[in-house]
Chain A
Amino acid sequence: DADVTQTPRNRITKTGKRIMLECSQTKGHDRMYWYRQDPGLGLRLIYYSFDVKDINKGEISDGYSVSRQAQAKFSLSLESAIPNQTALYFCATSAQGEGTGELFFGEGSRLTVL
């Protein structure tokens, strides 16, 4: 089984709908992240969490919210989806501390907003 699991892997929705993308991990990491990938723009950080009670905005948090329900779970919500939120979304984890800061990624959730 994958260490970082994202659901759903693919989702097509309509403008105005509420969407939740879920991420769960078995790596025991404290830190979790949500990134968005658009062609030619690389990855941009949406939100990140260093602990269950810690939530931080990234570069592009407008239109998104997150919930850290447990150490292993971090969900991303689009309250009212719009077409320019069509993208590939990645959840990632990393270990706490000075360490490497290496990120471990899920396989992505492809979201299409019509």
Chain B
Amino acid sequence: SQQGEEDPQALSIQEGENATMNCSYKTSINNLQWYRQNSGRGLVHLILIRSNEREKHSGRLRVTLDTSKKSSSLLITASRAADTASYFCATRGPSNTGKLIFGQGTTLQVKP
């Protein structure tokens, strides 16, 4: 069973708007990661946030983590048509097993 559940499942916005995707998980984590997948392609790592961090930025990406609520959000600011893709959160357990458990993903469409 998936560790993470993402919300919304699909999101459609206009270019220039911000996109926010949420991820909830069930058990303790070492870190939480976000990945992007262009249609039919392999996943690409975007950003990682550790369990002792609350917020992290990378370019137009902002990730927050609330371990008390077991939730994370990914914000993409000033979206572009090229941001159209599926976005997945993935959690890594506290035991350094190296396994990542993925959520079902959010499909983002950015209209030009």
Do A48 and B99 touch across chains, with their CB atoms under 8 A apart? yes
Q: How far is the CB of B31 from chain A (nearest CB, A)?
A: 6
Instruction: Sort chain B's interface into a size bin.
Output: 20 to 34
Do A43 and B41 touch across chains, with their CB atoms under 8 A apart? no
Do B101 and A100 touch across chains, with their CB atoms under 8 A apart? no
Chain B residue numbers with a CB within 8 Å of A101 are: 30-31, 33, 48, 92, 98, 100
* Complex alpha-carbon distance, A40 and B31, angstroms: 24
Main secondary structure of the interface of A (DSSP, over half): strand
In this assembly, does A102 line the interface, its C-beta being within 8 Å of a C-beta of chain B? yes
* Complex alpha-carbon distance, A41 and B44, angstroms: 18
Closest 5 CB pairs of A and B: A105-B42, A42-B104, A43-B102, A42-B102, A105-B43
